[in-house]
Structure 1
Amino acid sequence: MSDAKTIFDAMIKRFDQEAAGDMDAVFQFELDDAEDHYVMVSNGECQLNLGEHDDATVTLSMDTETLAAVMSGELDGMQAFMQGKIRADGDIMLATKLTEIFPS
């Protein structure tokens, strides 16, 4: 099993400022088998935080294995959602941009 912090650290390193553009969003990750994290994207910058945000734009629930597979490009996020491996709440269309903002 992958360590959530390692996955998020790798994700943050791959942040594509251009793809994020003028996005202002909070991606909440509720992990079934690890601590929750959230990523704030604002003004062309991103910041990783531990815990829960009070007002997330979109909340994604999954296990670390699914997170690792989606962020590495091994698993298509929309496919994972359709298979029930990812549960989403909030601005679901924003979730589809995750792999653009954090390319593998």
Structure 2
Amino acid sequence: MAVDIKKLFNEELPAALQKNAEDAKTIGAKYQMNITGEGEWFIDVSSTGPVCKAGSEPADCTITIAAEDFQKLVENPQANGMQLFFAGKLKVAGNQMLAMKLQKLFSYK
């Protein structure tokens, strides 16, 4: 089932972060998500967060991915994450180890 990317970043993720605020801060990073064809979002899950908002800000880890590839990533993060990364479809700038923590971020409900 396809994910509504704008709804995910504008409504669902911010609400989930508020519900899991203390645990989210343990991720300890700032992310910039650039999803081609959908938009850009800044996610702060450091001690100053948690925040998820539209726009672009300086981040520890920047993820750039096409919307259709992001759908694959959401469906199966473990299998598709590495596959997309090595195929050059999931670009990570900054601290690449932080990209591994994104799965925790998206596991909040």
> Shorter-chain-normalised TM-score: which range?
0.7 to 0.9
Matched, 1:47 2:51: yes
- Structure 1 gaps of 5+ residues are none
> 2:106, 2:35 → 1: CA distance?
18
Of 8-17 and 62-71, more deviation after overlay is shown by: 8-17
Question: Residue 85 of structure 2 aligns with which residue?
Answer: 81
Provide the TM-score with structure 2 as the length reference: 0.72
What RMSD, in angstroms, separates the aligned Cα atoms of the two structures? Answer: 2.7
Greater relative CO (CA pairs within 8 A, separation 6+): 1
Of 34-43 and 81-90, more deviation after overlay is shown by: 34-43
Question: Residue 24 of structure 1 aligns with which residue?
Answer: 28
Which deviations, in whole Å up to 9, do the C-alpha atoms of 1:20-64 show, x marking residues without a partner? 4533311101121122111110239521111110x2110110112
AA of the residue aligned to 2:93:
D
Question: Residue 8 of structure 2 aligns with which residue?
Answer: 7
AA of the residue aligned to 1:88:
V
State the identity %. 25
**Helix, strand or coil at the partner of 2:39:** coil
AA of the residue aligned to 1:97:
K
Shift of 1:103: 1.7
Aligned length: 103
